Structure 1
Amino acid sequence: MPEAPLTLAVLIRTIRSARTQAEERDLVQRESAKIRGAFRGDEAESRATNLAKLLYIHMLGYPAHFGQMECLQAHCLAPIPRKRIGYLGAALLLDEKQDTHLLLTNSIKNDLLHSSSWVQGLALSTLGSLGSAAMFRDLAGEVEQLARKAQPSVRRKAVVCAVHIIRKVPDLTDMFIPLGKHLLTEQTYGILHGAMMLIAEMCEQSPQALQSFSKHVSQMVGVLRNLVVAGYSPDHSISGISNPFLQVQILRLLRILGRDNEDTSEAMNDTLAQVATNTETTRNVGNAILYETVLTIMGVQSTSGLRVLAINILGRFLLNKDRNIRYVALTSLQKLLQTENSAVQRHRDTVLSCLSDPDPTVKRRALQLSLALVSNSNVRTSVRLLCVSLRDAGWYVRDDCVPNLICLIGGAKELHSYAVQQLYGALVQDISQQPLVQVATWCIGEYGNLLLDGSCEEVEPKQVHPEEILSLLERVLQSHLSLPATRAYALTALMKLGTHLQDSDVNRIRSLVSIYCSCHDIELQQRAVEYNALFRKYDHLRYCLHEKVFSCFGWEAVGGFPHQVYDLLDLLGGPVDSSVSQPSTVTPSATSLLDFLGDLNPAGKPLNVYCIIASCLIATALPRMSVYERDGLLIEFSMERPALEPTLLLITATVSNQMPDDIPNFTLQVAVPKPFQVELLPPSGSTVPGQGGAPLTQVIRVWTPKQVRTAEDLQSKKRV
């Protein structure tokens, strides 16, 4: 005797009581087979029940595709409960990627014209969820008529369905523009909310719609103003605020209409100010409206006073107890920093106070904004707080925060002693926080002489013995917590410190560096091998190579020099030529790739810029590059090799001045390593004009000996 089919309630209880997954799977397979048999037998009475059981099986993750055709038949049944099951099954089992769903078009059209509002609502919901472009084109007219004349509940669904139609088929926007204008006079809040969504979608899709609805901003502003001043309504108020969802949607629409439109923006300024000042902020609902108001103010051409008001709202968000609101405020202020820097700067103290927030995400966002807020006027205070913050932040900082903070410290000369003292003390206490360790080791390498001298005006100076510094860096190198990048910082710091220490300490540094010549990390191994080569072959150049450097040609100063430097030294096999070939050419005894000396002095003293050209002499690719940029003076090199003279390199130096005062008696002096030769042709002038003037140019001719190999040859040699 065949087993009787289970009802939906019994099926749910039986599946839930299954003890193992195999038992559940076996039960589902048996019941699925019974459902397939019932579908083939055309049992009309049990069709809705079987389809409901199949949908439950589908929600558990089991195959139910064989019920697609049954869904198409079920929604055609007369009783509304069966029709509802059919539409639910179609929404779950069908999508626009399958051609089967096109068979729904006629049935949905008939139901849209049905006399029952329940049936019309089912058809609109299904059409909006799985309608394709073809279905929308066929049924757009019926949807538009329902949005105008049907019952309020059906009209609301029809307007939302119209939004899906515009998103899928933007060509139909012209059909719904009159509907949008008609709905602006609607008194039902639900329909009005859908109308705002529809108008916003049309304005995003069609410039014609945007121009058309820009003339109706006064109506939208009036609706928003009424909502702001309206009293408490139990049907539409949330936390004492009248219909916040409609307010947010109107603000989003105004942001679209006021973008790059001065007249439209002016029409909404007063209402935006009213919303910003009258909205209650004690509840999260009010904060949501205020945030949308800020986005709208910043998204349209609002007045400067209104924009300052928006920034102040975000500043108040920073004082909120909710961490999510503080995070949103920090993110928004970061985006507005470029356009409203002065207004954001007023809240710098509040932003800096967020650095002590226990939430790591808020702290990270506050750190990024704090770095962006640093300027010449506040760098002294900001660097102190950022150093403390980095000590407390642990691992919760982005990778770019380390080089950014290093750049800030390097630019604040008066804080070098303070920074190295504080970071050294923090490193002695804890070497587990890698961002802190990286910044501290860089500062110790660059400004270790200040630490050894014990000179600091900001705090009580503390003189540190070289043995203590070397022991600390050795501990960083040997710690299992140190990342490869941290060890690279420490190795470079050791090499830089070696220029300030005695021979006994230098020998210790040499032994520490040699340990990493066989390191498994390729970067550390290459760095150690290069540093070891300096000790063995070029010890007389070590001091010059590890002077204070800066980023140029895309090489980070914190990472030392690229391997092409050492290839070139090995290629040339000796120190730099210090001979003077002519009065305008001077070669200092240094081998750093770019060693720019001298200070800008617009008062009238001569300005000398010394350059050493090295890697470009053996390069095969000759890009245009900026080689010097400081205090408004910019020097750019453009290079080319004449086709008939491969050993000649022509460098055109372009010198421009961004300062208002002229720079008189300017002299460009260039040096090259042996066995290269250099000649400077007469410059176009001796004075660099101030801002707006024609730049000064000078051609540099460099001869490359034939026996010198190119960078490509060096790479081939390495591969061999």
Structure 2
Amino acid sequence: MSSSMRGLVQFIADLRNARARELEEKRINKELANIRQKFKDSNLNGYQKKKYVCKLLYIYILGYNIDFGHLEALNLIASNKFSEKQVGYLAVSLLLNENHPLINLVLNSIRKDLNDVNELHNCLALHAVANVGGKAMAETLNTDVHKLLISPVSKPEVKKKAALTLLRLYRKTSHAVQKEWAERIVNLLDDPDFGVVTAVASLVIVLTQDDPETYKIAYGRAVNRLHLIIIEKRCHPDYLYYRVANPWLQVKLFRLLQNLPPTDNADELASLLDVLQHTLDHFGQNVPNVQQSNAQNAVLLEAVNLAIHMEVNMALMDKIVSRLCEFISSRETNLRYLGLDTMSRLSEKTADMEPIRKYQSTILGSLRDRDISVRRKGLDLLYSMCNYQNAEVIVAELMSYLETADFAIREDMVIKIAILTERHAPDYKWYINTIMKLISVAGEYVSDEVWQRAVQIVMNNEDLQPYAAHTLLAYLKGPVYYDSLVNIGGYVLGEFGHLIADSPGCSPIEQFMALQDKFGSSPPATKALLLSTYIKFVNLFPEIKPQLLQVFVTYSRSLDSELQQRACEYLALARLPTDDLLRTVCDEMPPFPERASILLTRINERQRSGSLATDNGLKLEPPVKPLIEGF
């Protein structure tokens, strides 16, 4: 090292030897004062500027604020010496951001280096543009970066950096990449250098996401490159990763194809199907080396995602499901998660769920996985693959698991079980039994939407009402209850308790006692609902009117204003000399109008907000009719 940089080495050593924060700050303040004084001297040469700027950068990296020296750093960029230019660009990358007022002063120097014949200067300028970015650089330098990317004389190292820099600028502003550049950019997917192709693939992936129509010309080139790598095994030895040919490029090309609509070209389609078939047959099976296995599995999963996007033939789909099931059965948690996640995506796309349902028992086993993220994915997949044929088995398994499930996913499970129970119920009795068991098992996780939805279904199905009232009364007589169970019980018995009044164990006084037994420990909202039930009872069961009036009298003196008002109004209504007004007020509620399911609305809102694990959507099964039309 030259003597001019020994001061920097000594300065760093002094800071490392400082035994206290105060000593470090003292040494830094002394050095900053010295540097300020030196910068006032206009006779500093390039080496000296470089040394002092390096000291400023080191101080900045330690977390201290640097409010001077920026212009000296910019002057170093204009130097013809690489070491000085390098330090100047490093200072720009660290000390300036895209909104810094000095950015405009450096644009001309960067443009000059971008157009320089020296590739080292090109690379330094590209680094600075990529690190700082910003709208100003995107609008001013995008053309120069593009020229470096497509220039036939640019070296591979420069092309790689130019592609990634253009990607950075495009992410700042979409105007950084012009549509007329599409063909020249896509042509680079045929570049003989794999590094260039990998960098360009990263750029094209983002471009195809935003403008698939303009960049659909990349489809054929991506397929040809995949065929060369996977089928013809043409790959430079430098890009072999544990005997896997450039897995990063393969993954990127598969992702690129997923952003574009499937091709209409028969030759391209046949070539791509060969690639997919070969990948499914030979990747990820019996690989002893962990790194090689990871690389092959990464490629395999992206190939499967592409096959799902293309909606390939059934024979290939069976093989895909079989391979994904191997992932689900793997000992590695990551593979189990990815297998379930990909299978969920497949279930969204395919109309025929039979290949997936063959492995139902394996998927059910994921609910008891030791990792909660795997259990969540298993729940999502079971939710999406459920239909009227396997609903009873899946719902029963979910109910069994619900009793011991983690608290973090219980509410999600409750909502999904409720939706599946309604959508695929073989009969009304099964629906009521399942919903009641759900509430009794996980009542504290049952949201209002669940029991309100059950009330809607009971109200709109006349044949269901007596059985629902009888079942709810039996649960209310049990020792374990939750507020949601009392709510639905109070609502249904208030409307339909008279339908079972003649049944053994269901007399009016027994219905009243079952509700009153839960009344004292219920929250105010539930008490208010039960008071409404009791006024209905006054109309339906005059024989227990004295007991009901006593409740109204007691709560007419309640400290809760809502309960007090209800009790007073109901007491006045019950004491009217004639029952005409009482019968009018307490008339049976009409059926609910058709509306979107409140449960589906809830689950969709939570999915959009990201608070719920991936939902996968609900599939309507044509063979079975929902319990309530339009719900």
| TM-score, normalisation: structure 1 | 0.62
Aligned to 1:626: 594
Structure 1: state its 5+ residue gaps: 454-463, 474-485, 517-523, 544-561, 580-586, 595-610, 614-624, 630-657, 662-690, 692-720
Aligned to 1:188: 193
Equivalent residue letter for 1:284: N
Note closer, same or farther for the CA distance 1:174–1:588 as it changes in structure 2 (3 Å cut).
Answer: closer
The equivalences for 1:138-217 within 5 A come to: 138-147=140-149, 148-167=152-171, 168-170=173-175, 172-174=177-179, 176-180=181-185, 182-204=187-209, 206=211, 209-214=214-219, 217=220
Equivalent residue letter for 1:527: T
CA displacement at 1:174 relative to structure 2 = 4.6
**Which has the higher mean CA deviation after the structures are superposed, 128-137 or 191-200?**
128-137
CA displacement at 1:308 relative to structure 2 = 4.5
**Residue 519 of structure 2: which of 513, 520, 527 is its match?**
513
Aligned to 1:557: none
Aligned to 2:463: none
Q: Within the alignment, does 1:374 sit opposite 2:376 as a pair? A: no
Aligned to 2:526: 527
Note closer, same or farther for the CA distance 1:450–1:542 as it changes in structure 2 (3 Å cut).
Answer: same
Aligned to 2:125: 123
Write the distance in 2 (CA, Å) between the matches of 1:438 and 1:19: 62
**Residue 104 of structure 2: which of 91, 102, 105 is its match?**
102
The equivalences for 1:79-94 within 5 A come to: 79-94=81-96
Report if aligned partners of 2:145, 2:162 keep a CA contact under 8 Å in 1.
yes
Write the distance in 1 (CA, Å) between the matches of 2:521 and 2:164: 70
**Residue 392 of structure 1: which of 390, 393, 404 is its match?**
404
Write the distance in 2 (CA, Å) between the matches of 1:9 and 1:489: 75
Report if aligned partners of 1:52, 1:85 keep a CA contact under 8 Å in 2.
yes
Write the distance in 1 (CA, Å) between the matches of 2:83 and 2:382: 60
Equivalent residue letter for 1:335: R
Write the distance in 1 (CA, Å) between the matches of 2:436 and 2:528: 31
Aligned to 1:32: 32
Write the distance in 2 (CA, Å) between the matches of 1:437 and 1:143: 56
CA displacement at 1:507 relative to structure 2 = 4.1
Note closer, same or farther for the CA distance 1:367–1:164 as it changes in structure 2 (3 Å cut).
Answer: closer
CA displacement at 1:449 relative to structure 2 = 5.5
| 1:537-586 Cα distance to aligned partner (Å, 9 max, x none) | 7445489xxxxxxxxxxxxxxxxxx99xx89x9599479x999xxxxxxx
Equivalent residue letter for 2:528: V
Equivalent residue letter for 2:399: C
The equivalences for 1:106-505 within 5 A come to: 106-147=108-149, 148-167=152-171, 168-170=173-175, 172-174=177-179, 176-180=181-185, 182-204=187-209, 206=211, 209-214=214-219, 217=220, 219-229=221-231, 230=233, 234-259=237-262, 265=269, 268-281=272-285, 282=287, 283-300=293-310, 302-341=312-351, 342=353, 343-397=355-409, 399-409=411-421, 411=425, 413=427, 415=430, 434-435=444-445, 469-470=478-479, 472-473=480-481, 487-489=483-485, 492=488, 503=509
Write the distance in 2 (CA, Å) between the matches of 1:249 and 1:300: 17
The equivalences for 1:680-719 within 5 A come to: none
Note closer, same or farther for the CA distance 1:267–1:65 as it changes in structure 2 (3 Å cut).
Answer: farther
CA displacement at 1:6 relative to structure 2 = 9.3
**Which has the higher mean CA deviation after the structures are superposed, 364-373 or 138-147?**
138-147
CA displacement at 1:236 relative to structure 2 = 1.1
**Which has the higher mean CA deviation after the structures are superposed, 31-40 or 345-354?**
31-40
Structure with a larger share of its residues in strand: 1
CA displacement at 1:170 relative to structure 2 = 3.6
| 1:387-429 Cα distance to aligned partner (Å, 9 max, x none) | 11111213031534213324545635565798699879x96xx
Equivalent residue letter for 1:84: Q
Report if aligned partners of 2:146, 2:166 keep a CA contact under 8 Å in 1.
yes
Equivalent residue letter for 1:297: A
Equivalent residue letter for 2:257: L
Write the distance in 1 (CA, Å) between the matches of 2:421 and 2:345: 24
Report if aligned partners of 1:290, 1:313 keep a CA contact under 8 Å in 2.
no
CA RMSD of aligned residues (A): 4.7
Aligned residues: 534
CA displacement at 1:385 relative to structure 2 = 0.9
Write the distance in 1 (CA, Å) between the matches of 2:356 and 2:159: 45
| 1:117-153 Cα distance to aligned partner (Å, 9 max, x none) | 3222111221233244554455445434433212332
Identity of aligned residues (%): 21
CA displacement at 1:352 relative to structure 2 = 0.9
Aligned to 1:593: 589
Higher relative contact order (CA 8 A, sep 6+): 2
Write the distance in 2 (CA, Å) between the matches of 1:361 and 1:235: 37
Equivalent residue letter for 1:48: K
| 1:325-359 Cα distance to aligned partner (Å, 9 max, x none) | 32233233333323314143333322211011011
Report if aligned partners of 1:204, 1:210 keep a CA contact under 8 Å in 2.
no
Write the distance in 2 (CA, Å) between the matches of 1:378 and 1:301: 24
CA displacement at 1:244 relative to structure 2 = 0.5
Write the distance in 2 (CA, Å) between the matches of 1:25 and 1:532: 73
| 1:648-686 Cα distance to aligned partner (Å, 9 max, x none) | xxxxxxxxxx9999xxxxxxxxxxxxxxxxxxxxxxxxx
Q: Within the alignment, does 1:68 sit opposite 2:73 as a pair? A: no
Write the distance in 1 (CA, Å) between the matches of 2:10 and 2:526: 72
Note closer, same or farther for the CA distance 1:32–1:188 as it changes in structure 2 (3 Å cut).
Answer: same
The equivalences for 1:49-60 within 5 A come to: 49-60=51-62
Note closer, same or farther for the CA distance 1:73–1:371 as it changes in structure 2 (3 Å cut).
Answer: same
Write the distance in 1 (CA, Å) between the matches of 2:305 and 2:189: 23
| 1:562-613 Cα distance to aligned partner (Å, 9 max, x none) | 99xx89x9599479x999xxxxxxx99984424xxxxxxxxxxxxxxxx5x8
| 1:140-173 Cα distance to aligned partner (Å, 9 max, x none) | 4543443321233223223333434555454643
Write the distance in 1 (CA, Å) between the matches of 2:63 and 2:234: 49
Aligned to 2:548: none
Equivalent residue letter for 1:327: Y
Write the distance in 2 (CA, Å) between the matches of 1:179 and 1:224: 20
Write the distance in 1 (CA, Å) between the matches of 2:483 and 2:106: 67
Report if aligned partners of 1:394, 1:435 keep a CA contact under 8 Å in 2.
no
Equivalent residue letter for 2:41: G
Does the residue aligned with 1:61 lie in a helix, a strand or coil? Answer: coil
Structure with a larger share of its residues in helix: 2
Note closer, same or farther for the CA distance 1:220–1:659 as it changes in structure 2 (3 Å cut).
Answer: closer
CA displacement at 1:232 relative to structure 2 = 8.4
Aligned to 2:608: none
Note closer, same or farther for the CA distance 1:416–1:192 as it changes in structure 2 (3 Å cut).
Answer: closer
